[in-house]
């Protein structure tokens, strides 16, 4: 996530102006005047602005270098490479890790660009401890899989603001099904590790153990995605494109083609309204575990003490076979346990190998 940042570019009184370390250092001023041959880099005809963070009058160069600045190679300007810092850094970091260890490295970047998924994962950045940002995280993970970055997650419980017990609990339950799972917050806010609340600790343990059980399946999905592209976390419409009901579903998602997850994303909710596309579905959570569930609209109980609704797809004709293991306290110990196969039968029951 390193890039030229925290400058006071084009500001009259930047944030650092009165600090002793750099008293009254003049900020960068970019060419913006009409007639200046370099002004079009910082004032392009299509006036893209940093509106979301910095307000409607912000320039492209706000907090960074002037777009007209020439890079070290003498030909590219900052305008050309502004979006490529994260891409360039993740690529060279991954290559350096492999050279040093002869193993694939785990690299996470907040700043990514097209094709970054080849070198790194992405996390969704400095969110806030709000139910709206929990909901956005569910959508964001699906979007970044469609962007070609399957290793994706959010700051569980929220980065900014003080979190609350119920929100943190529900975020851990959902976050266990993101491919990158991490609780992370700013130093100035209250502690939010699961042990701060007994209920959150218990819910996190249950969700994490389920995740550890299906790490062989999750790893296999990543393996296939690394070879052929595609997704690990999928929107429902990815598997059921002809079912128009799936086109507007934001808060359900799939692991691969076979596992459906429906997190709790609303405050105070003790049940979840779930739409199951036409197929055979079997419960994998506390409610009617192992039972065949009717497709269509369903309302599943989702108390805080339960795993969120998770179902495995029987695939009406071919069925599903998912590899799993008995979970342990770490991934290393879990991997030492024997493999099991979860079988969700279909009518014909033809299934390709899901274990890679």
pLDDT digits (tens, 9 = 90+) for 139-152: 999 999 999 999 99
Looking at per-residue pLDDT, the higher value among 256 and 15 belongs to 256
- The arithmetic mean of pLDDT across residues 92-111, rounded, is 94
Average pLDDT, the chain: 92
How confident is residue 1, by pLDDT bands cut at 50, 70 and 90? low
- The arithmetic mean of pLDDT across residues 317-333, rounded, is 93
What's the CA gap between 61 and 289, in Å, rounded? Answer: 55
Q: Which of 4-13, 17-26, 267-276 has the highest mean pLDDT?
A: 267-276
Q: Which two tokens stand for residue 117?
A: 């998924």
**Across the chain, how many H-helices and E-strands are there?**
10, 15
Residue 88: predicted pLDDT: 92
Phi-psi region of 325 (alpha: psi -120 to 50; beta: other; left: phi over 0): beta
Phi-psi region of 31 (alpha: psi -120 to 50; beta: other; left: phi over 0): beta
- The arithmetic mean of pLDDT across residues 105-109, rounded, is 93
Q: What's the distance, CA 220 to chain centroid?
A: 18
Torsional sign, CA 126, 132, 136, 137? positive
pLDDT at 115 over 70: yes
C-beta separation of 198 from 189 below 8 A: no
Q: What does CATH list as the number for 85-212? A: 3.20.20.80
Q: Which CATH class is domain 216-344?
A: mainly beta
- The arithmetic mean of pLDDT across residues 301-327, rounded, is 93
What's the CA gap between 233 and 139, in Å, rounded? Answer: 10
Listed in order, the ranges of the chain carrying CATH 2.60.40.1180 are 216-344
C-beta separation of 84 from 113 below 8 A: yes
Please state whether the predicted TM-score (pTM) of the whole model is above 0.95: no
Listed in order, the ranges of the chain carrying CATH 3.20.20.80 are 85-212
Residues in the chain: 356
Residue 63: predicted pLDDT: 87
182-183/155-156 β-pairing: parallel
| pLDDT tens readout for residues 22-77 | 777 888 999 988 888 888 898 887 766 666 667 777 788 888 999 999 999 999 99
C-beta separation of 151 from 180 below 8 A: yes
Residue 208: predicted pLDDT: 98
Q: Give bridge partners of residue 114 from the DSSP assignment.
A: none
């Amino acid at each position: 996530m390193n890039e030229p940042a925290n400058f006071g570019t084009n500001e009259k009184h930047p944030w650092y102006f009165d600090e002793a370390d750099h008293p009254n250092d003049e900020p960068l001023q970019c060419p913006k005047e009409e007639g200046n041959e370099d002004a079009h880099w910082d004032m392009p005809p299509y006036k893209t602005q940093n509106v979301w963070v910095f307000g409607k009058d912000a320039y492209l160069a706000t907090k960074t270098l002037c777009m007209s600045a020439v890079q070290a190679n003498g030909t590219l300007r900052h305008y050309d490479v502004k979006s490529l810092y994260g891409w360039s850094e993740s690529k060279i970091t991954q290559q350096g890790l492999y050279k040093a260890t002869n193993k694939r490295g785990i690299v996470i970047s907040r700043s990514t660009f097209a094709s970054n998924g080849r070198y790194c994962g992405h996390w969704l950045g400095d969110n806030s401890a709000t139910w709206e940002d929990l909901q956005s995280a569910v959508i964001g993970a699906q979007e970044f899989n469609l962007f070609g970055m399957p290793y994706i997650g959010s700051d569980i419980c929220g980065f900014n603001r003080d979190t609350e017990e119920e929100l943190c609990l529900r975020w851990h339950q959902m976050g266990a099904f993101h491919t990158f799972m991490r609780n992370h917050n700013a130093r100035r806010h209250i502690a939010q590790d699961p042990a701060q609340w007994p209920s959150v600790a218990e819910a996190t343990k249950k969700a994490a153990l389920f995740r550890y059980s299906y790490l062989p399946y999750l790893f296999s999905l990543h393996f296939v995605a690394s070879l052929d592209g595609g997704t690990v976390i999928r929107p429902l419409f990815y598997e059921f494109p002809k079912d128009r009901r799936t086109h507007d579903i934001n808060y359900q998602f799939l692991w691969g083609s076979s596992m459906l997850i429906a997190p709790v994303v609303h405050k105070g909710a003790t049940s979840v309204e779930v739409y199951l596309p036409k197929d055979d579905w079997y419960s994998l959570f506390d409610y009617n575990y192992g039972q065949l569930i009717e497709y269509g609209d369903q309302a599943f109980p989702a108390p805080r003490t339960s795993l969120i609704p998770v179902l495995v797809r029987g695939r009406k004709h071919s069925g599903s076979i998912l590899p799993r293991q008995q979970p342990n306290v770490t991934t290393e110990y879990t991997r030492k346990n024997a493999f099991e196969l979860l079988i969700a039968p279909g009518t014909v029951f033809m299934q390709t190998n899901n274990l890679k």
